[in-house]
């Protein structure tokens, strides 16, 4: 599961809606997951396909970037650091959910979201 795919990063000049991003991602990478998003940037986890060479994945990313008017984009192989960050974010989300579940309050909304931060080593 881990380290078996690519991480795509896109940066936008203008803010992009979550709905527009998801629609376009589904068009080019139906198996991909939007792992984090800000108004002007997004990180996608793209599974590696045995049937598709990396050049085809990069070409699809280029088409996605053009459709969304991205100012720049990258496609990198998943690294151990990215796997650990993703695992850490998943653990944080589980912990946050359990804290609110134990409080017994149904009126409290957990405002924390891993989509607020994009962990990137280089731009």
pLDDT tens string 96-122 = 544 444 444 444 444 444 444 455 544
Q: List, for residues 15-40, the tens digit of each pLDDT value.
A: 999 999 999 999 999 999 999 999 89
Q: Answer whether residue 45 shows pLDDT above 70.
A: yes
Class of the CATH domain delimited by 6-91:
alpha beta
Q: List, for residues 47-77, the tens digit of each pLDDT value.
A: 888 788 888 999 999 999 999 999 999 999 8
Can you tell me the distance from the alpha carbon of 66 to that of 61, in angstroms, rounded to the nearest whole number? 9
- Predicted pLDDT at 3: 59
- Torsion from C-alpha of 37, 83, 100, 109, nearest 10 degrees: 0
Strands, sheet with 5-12, edge to edge from the N-terminal-most edge strand:
33-38, 41-47, 5-12, 70-77
């Amino acid at each position: 599961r881990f380290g078996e795919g690519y991480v795509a990063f896109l940066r936008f000049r203008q803010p992009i809606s979550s709905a527009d991003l998801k629609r376009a991602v589904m068009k080019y990478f139906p198996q991909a997951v939007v792992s984090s998003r800000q108004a002007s940037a997004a990180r996608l986890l793209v599974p590696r396909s045995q049937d598709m060479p990396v050049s085809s994945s990069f070409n699809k990313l280029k088409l996605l970037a053009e459709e969304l008017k991205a100012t720049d984009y990258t496609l990198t192989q998943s690294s151990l650091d990215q796997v650990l960050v993703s695992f850490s974010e998943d653990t944080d989300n589980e912990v946050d959910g359990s804290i609110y579940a134990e409080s017994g309050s149904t009126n409290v909304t957990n405002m924390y979201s891993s989509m607020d931060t994009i962990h990137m080593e280089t731009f």
